[in-house]
Amino acid sequence: MELPDYVKARARSKDKVLREDYVLDDNLKSIGVGKKYFLKTYGCQMNEHDSENLKAMLEELGFVEVDDYNNADLVLLNTCSIRENAHNKAFGMLGRLKHVKESTNPDLIVGLCGCMAQEEGVVNELMHKYKWVNFVFGTHNIHRLPYILNDALQANKQQIEVLSREGNIIEGIPVKRASNHKAYVNIIYGCDKFCTYCIVPYTRGKQRSRDPKDIVKEVEELVKDGYKEVTLLGQNVNAYGKDFDYTYTMENLLEDVSKTGIPRIFFMTSHPWDFTDGMIDVISKCDNVMPYVHLPVQSGSSRILKLMGRRYTKESYLELFDKIRGRVPRVSISTDIIVGFPGEEEEDFLDTLDLVEHCKYDNAFTFIYSPRENTAAAKLANQVDESVKEERLQRLNSVVNKYFLENNQKLVGEVFPVLVEGVSSKKNELFGYTDTFKLINFEGDSSLIGEIINVKVVEAKTWSLDGEIVK
């Protein structure tokens, strides 16, 4: 049994991160034959991508995926810790699974992994109040799933294996991708920024960049398999390469990935602090690097940004924002904003609204501050009242939504290249994303799925566009 430990999770060792290849023992290859699994994913794209790996590993063991947990022999929850509501959802699901185990399927095997498994408090609760959860493993050892699961099947007692010291980088984990046209590609794991509100540096560990050769090889294979789009993933992609003992940066990586010929490259998330002029040049220069930047600001108050540990001010953020807008033609920019950080006064919030009025974001994810276990901000005394947070969120949303619609209205009549992703819930309509990452619906034949086609915007809505195919 190995339990999470926040002291170890905070430590950033100078040890070199080692690269290992995934291996699966032959004698495990049939432990899932004849059995069904249900996997539920919470959280960000990184978790979604981890789930693509988890699914492929389970299928190598013989398990078959089902979409209803009532029919499953194994249920795995890949969890998220970012805000309280992510926690509540996972614990709510555990409640439903307990009921299934008690009523219809006493042999059900339940596992929990992902970011919540890295939390001391959560694992304590699982050990004492959820003893029926069969196994728990963290974000650093997802490649160990076959082994931990096998132990859980054999031992008949709760198995917990959570590393708090970051693991090695494991290459060659199989992957069952959610799409045949677009793919997530990890480029950097972990985060060293320690923004004071954020639990990610504890749950994902030290910043570790994947070897560029492994990344380029993965994208080359995707190109061969007919993929049209990759999204390069990391909590802070701009820090890519900073942990190498040679000079190779995010700019170099974007250029090398661009040379693979993959038609569309997105990347996320960019921390404003590490965003270089060179990056801006590469985005504007490489045709297959898409003109879309997710640039989380979190707050428009320099005082709050300082308390958040974000390492930029309102002014320096705006300078960067305007530079990107000015130098990348047609660029669209989105953001994340938190309201109600401890000590946020009305004046600070008005600074945020003022920044939003300037930036007129194409999209924004807005959140109420949620205190997270063991983070610096959670220990601050002057927490903001829930009612004040709610009220600020509503005011913020009405401003950001106004600009989504205004920006979209300006696009009516313009033609965009769109990767057709599938059939939308509305009958006969296809949907996809523009090169500027705008969701667009249009009529067309399903044979176009997976193609990049030109679509003209005919109507603007707040969160999407309606278009028609340009022949």
Out of ligand SF4, ligand SAH, ligand F3S, none, what residue 194 binds, judged by CB under 5 to 8 A for its kind, is: ligand SF4
* Cβ(421)–Cβ(386) below 8 Å: no
- Count other C-beta atoms under 10 Å from residue 179's C-beta: 16
Out of ligand SF4, ligand SAH, ligand F3S, none, what residue 338 binds, judged by CB under 5 to 8 A for its kind, is: ligand SAH
> By CB under 6 A, is residue 432 in contact with ligand SAH?
no
Among residues 200 and 254, whose Cβ is nearest to ligand SF4?
200
> By CB under 6 A, is residue 93 in contact with ligand F3S?
no
Residue 340's φ and ψ, nearest 5 degrees, are 80, 25
Closest CA to 238 of 176, 193, 304: 193
Reading the block at residue 328, the tokens are 């990348």
> By CB under 6 A, is residue 203 in contact with ligand F3S?
yes
Out of ligand SAH, ligand SF4, ligand F3S, none, what residue 81 binds, judged by CB under 5 to 8 A for its kind, is: ligand F3S
Taking the C-alpha atoms of residue 392 and residue 396, their distance in angstroms, rounded to an integer, is: 6
Q: Counting Cβ atoms within 10 Å, is residue 220 exposed (0-12), middle (13-18) or buried (19+)? A: middle
Among residues 115 and 457, whose Cβ is nearest to ligand F3S?
115
**In a 3-state reduction of DSSP, which class is residue 441?**
strand
- The correct pick among 140, 264, 271, 314 for binding ligand SAH (CB under 6 A) is 271
Nearest distance in Å: CB 294, ligand SAH = 8
Question: What is the total count of residues that contact ligand F3S (CB under 6 A)?
Answer: 12
> By CB under 6 A, is residue 47 in contact with ligand F3S?
yes
Out of ligand SF4, ligand SAH, ligand F3S, none, what residue 201 binds, judged by CB under 5 to 8 A for its kind, is: ligand SF4
Closest CA to 71 of 79, 63, 83, 59: 63
> By CB under 6 A, is residue 231 in contact with ligand SAH?
no
User: Judged by CB under 6 A, which stretch of 80-88, 171-179, 283-291, 447-455 contacts ligand F3S?
Assistant: 80-88
Cis-peptide, bond into residue 352, ω within 30° of zero: no
Taking the C-alpha atoms of residue 468 and residue 42, their distance in angstroms, rounded to an integer, is: 34
Taking the C-alpha atoms of residue 355 and residue 399, their distance in angstroms, rounded to an integer, is: 11
Among residues 5 and 151, whose Cβ is nearest to ligand F3S?
5
> By CB under 6 A, is residue 44 in contact with ligand F3S?
yes
Reading the block at residue 343, the tokens are 């000590």
Q: Around 160, how many Cα atoms within 13 Å sit in the side-chain half-sphere? A: 24
User: Judged by CB under 6 A, which stretch of 58-66, 194-202, 242-250, 316-324 contacts ligand SAH?
Assistant: 194-202
Taking the C-alpha atoms of residue 404 and residue 435, their distance in angstroms, rounded to an integer, is: 17
Signed CA dihedral, 404, 432, 252, 246: sign only: positive
Query: Could you list the residues that contact ligand F3S (CB under 6 A)?
Result: 43-44, 46-47, 80-82, 114-115, 200, 203-204
Query: Could you list the residues that contact ligand SAH (CB under 6 A)?
Result: 82-83, 197-198, 200, 235-236, 269, 271, 296, 298, 336, 338, 367, 369-370, 372
